[in-house]
Amino acid sequence: MDDVSLLKLGLTKDEKKTFEKKKVELSKRVGSLLKASRADSKNAECFICGKECSSFCNSHSVPQFCLQNISVSGKLYHSGNLVDIPMLDKDKGIGEADTFRIICRDCDSSVFSDYENPEAYCQVPSDKMLAQIAMKNYLKSISKRQLEIQLYRNMAKEFGEHEMMIHMEGIGSTDLREYIDEFKYAKKACQSKWDNNYYLSYFESIPYVVPIAFQNDIALVSDIEGSTINNIYNHLSDYVIKSVHICVFPLANHSVVMMFCRYGENRYSKFFKQFKKLSSEEKLKVINYIIFSYSEDYYFYKGIDQEIFGNESLKDVVKTTSVSVGDNPFADSLTAAKETYDLNKRDTIPNFLSETYKVNIKSDIISDPNQSDFGGQNHIS
């Protein structure tokens, strides 16, 4: 087991020094590669309606009305505040948060209207709402993968063909096919008159506003007892990675947390059973741990006590990636991943879904405590 470990995001102190020296040159190179890749990966048609489109909508994955509830003067914190990635801005405006551009304006404003309505969360969400959420998640993933694939191609052109690049492009293409299949299923479900397309395993309405917003699909590696759910290192074409959708929506006076997957998806049934047996508090801890260990697409309340960004175990957990770095090709990456993503480590990080961290919206809007003293300071380094 010692010969394999999972790559952590961020930079060490030495790497940071080297980076600072080469920052301008590197930023320019990466920036122009990204820009070119973005242009090259641009589609000609809207991904939903298929109509020709020249100016795509800047679509949000997490609904804007949720982001508004945790922003201060239109700003939020994101994962970059916890990971030392020097090129990321330290806070984001709502307009820049978690966006993708592959659908037209008409589709963006009409297709998701059921789930993008704050009033809808006074009750358990409908199957149609879940289908819309799933569709949005896959659109974002499709857009990300399209860009990555193009980026690998352009990097290969710029730096020479490299085995790693070809490998990454191959994985990206397999992922892309799976996302497109899931997108098609969700699109069909949105128009379906039946309400058995998705299985809502967990829905909780909590009576306070949580300081994080999240919406994404996640491929869990293992369940609470350590059994495998997805072997994320199996790249054989007939092995399909199955994900679960998780949402944390801060609303005006309460929050909702939910978890669902495609109806009839057996790979998660054991995990769902184990999860159901947990107390309400433990359930929230598990969701909280999944979000921070598996994803980078979460948003933080801008008025949060910034000391939390210095929490070492939190910083360590959020840097987790599934990129396996083994000395030999037969290294057991899956066992290493299971250890890294072990849900029983959920007590090692702060549970942002607990009442302790709740947002006190009214007083913050009036006093806006971070407005004057934050001003771009970096509390991480």
The Cα–Cα gap between 2 and 94 comes to 43
The answer to whether 114 and 126 are in contact (CB under 8 A) is yes
Beta strands 244-250; 212-218: pairing state: antiparallel
In angstroms, rounded to a whole number, what is the distance separating the alpha carbons of residues 177 and 235? Answer: 13
286 near Zn ion, rule: CB under 5 A:
no
User: How many angstroms separate the CA atoms of 132 and 114, rounded?
Assistant: 8
- Nearer to Zn ion by Cβ, of 54 and 328: the residue is 54
Q: Per rule CB under 5 A, is residue 251 in the interface with Zn ion?
A: no
**Taking the complex as a whole, how short is the minimal distance between the CB of residue 67 and Zn ion, in angstroms?**
23
**Per CB under 5 A, does 104 bind Zn ion?**
yes
Q: Is 105 in the site for Zn ion (CB under 5 A)?
A: no
Determine if 232 is a binding residue for Zn ion (CB under 5 A).
no
332-345: buried (b, 16+ CB within 10 Å) or exposed (e) per residue? ebbebbbebbbbee
| Cα–Cα distance list, 228 to 241, 273, 288, 306, 332 (Å) | 12, 15, 20, 36, 13
Cβ atoms 231, 184 nearer than 8 A: no
Using the minimum distance from each CB to Zn ion, give the nearer residue, 104 or 256: 104
Closer to Zn ion by Cβ: residue 108 or 297: 108
Whole-angstrom Cα Rg for the chain: 21
Q: How far is the CB of 107 from Zn ion (least distance, A)?
A: 3
Looking at the DSSP bridge assignments, the partners of residue 259 are 202, 246
For Zn ion, give the closer residue by CB, 104 or 291: 104
Total interface residues for Zn ion by CB under 5 A: 5
Residue 49 binds Zn ion, judged by CB under 5 A: yes
User: With binding defined as CB under 5 A, does residue 46 bind Zn ion?
Assistant: yes
In whole angstroms, the minimum distance from the beta carbon of 229 to Zn ion comes to 34
- Binding window for Zn ion (CB under 5 A); candidates: 87-95, 106-114, 145-153, 258-266: 106-114
Position 259 contacts Zn ion (CB under 5 A): no
- Interface stretch with Zn ion, choices 103-111, 122-130, 143-151, 311-319 (CB under 5 A): 103-111
Contact with Zn ion (CB under 5 A): which of 67, 107, 218, 220? 107
Q: Which stretch binds Zn ion (CB under 5 A): 22-30, 83-91, 105-113, 329-337?
A: 105-113
Beta bridge partners of 244: 218
Q: Which stretch binds Zn ion (CB under 5 A): 97-105, 157-165, 295-303, 358-366?
A: 97-105
Quick one: tokens of 139?
A: 């659109």
Question: Among residues 305, 285, 300, which one has the least CA distance to residue 212?
Answer: 300
Residues binding Zn ion (CB under 5 A): 46, 48-49, 104, 107
